[in-house]
């Protein structure tokens, strides 16, 4: 797989809490130059990115991030504001406590509510695999599918672990045919990128893709 093919599947990411406008601008310029699928950025930067780059760039942002335990109404408000400001895609974090309490119907209902708020825009659901048992991961595959979300995503990059091949294969076994997979967190080498894409991931969330494909070192998420 060529570098160009791989980059078309990358959500070029900068979610550090201390990210400056210079960091964000560089990210966006790289995304345009290398034709990445999107930039994944903090909500507070959406409007400025949209004003600066317009339709040159697909803006993805995060909701309920990174801990997931905001109430549903707050997450909906985040979605509405993000779309108003110019976002094209939303990556939400589930309420991990609800998952651990096995309140799967409640999690499913929240995902469905956020998908309704997204309308035709893509919704990716971060389940934070590092905190879940196999049974809980399978339950989330079912909840994401039944709620009508577009993607299931492994990780925030802020937990205790990121994407693993084991989890990707588990997702493939238990998600519905309309649900795509995003691997995120810990994708640090060209081999990682290629392996996850060959395993069936449609998107890769990483801050490192442009650097590592240009022979540099991986940095950050």
Residue 192 is a catalytic residue: no
The predicted structure's pLDDT at residue 219: 58
Predicted pLDDT of residue 215? 75
DSSP three-state, residue 154: coil
The CATH code of the domain at 3-213 is 3.20.20.70
106 flagged as catalytic: no
DSSP assigned state of 108: H
> What string of H, E and C letters represents the secondary structure of 117-186?
HHCCCEEEEECCHHHCCHHHHHHHHHHHHHHCCCEEECCCCCCCCCCCHHHHHHHHHHCCCCCEEEEECC
Q: What are phi and psi of 39, to 5 degrees?
A: -110, 140
Query: What is the predicted pLDDT for the residue at 48?
Result: 98
SS3 assignment, position 111:
helix
What's residue 214's pLDDT? 86
Q: Check residue 220 and give its pLDDT.
A: 58
How far is it, in rounded angstroms, from Cα 69 to Cα 36? 30
Distance between CA atoms of residues 57 and 72, nearest Å: 28
pLDDT along the chain (221 residues), means of 10: 95 97 98 97 98 98 98 98 98 98 98 98 98 98 98 97 97 98 93 96 95 70 61
- The reply to whether 172 belongs to the active site is no
Which listed residue (11, 85, 91, 150) is catalytic? 91
Q: Which of 75, 115, 153, 180 is catalytic?
A: 153
């Amino acid at each position: 797989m060529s570098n160009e093919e791989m980059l078309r599947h990358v959500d070029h990411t900068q979610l550090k809490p201390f990210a400056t406008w210079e960091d964000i601008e560089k990210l966006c310029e790289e995304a345009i130059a290398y034709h990445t699928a999107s930039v994944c950025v903090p909500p507070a930067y959406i409007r400025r990115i949209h004003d600066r780059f317009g339709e040159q760039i697909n803006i993805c942002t995060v909701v309920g991030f990174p801990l997931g335990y905001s109430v549903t109404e707050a997450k909906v408000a985040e979605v509405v504001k993000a779309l108003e400001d110019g976002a094209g895609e939303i990556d939400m974090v589930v309420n991990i406590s609800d998952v651990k309490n096995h309140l799967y119907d409640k999690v499913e209902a929240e995902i469905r509510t956020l998908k309704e708020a997204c309308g035709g825009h893509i919704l990716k659901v971060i389940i934070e695999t590092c905190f879940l048992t196999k049974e809980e991961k399978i339950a989330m595959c079912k909840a994401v599918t039944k709620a009508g979300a577009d993607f299931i995503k492994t990780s925030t990059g802020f937990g205790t672990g990121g994407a693993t091949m084991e989890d990707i294969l588990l997702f493939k076994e238990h998600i519905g045919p309309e649900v795509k997979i995003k691997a995120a967190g810990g994708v640090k080498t060209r081999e990682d990128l290629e392996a996850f894409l060959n395993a069936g991931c449609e998107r890769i969330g990483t801050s490192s893709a442009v650097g590592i494909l240009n022979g540099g070192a991986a940095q950050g998420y």
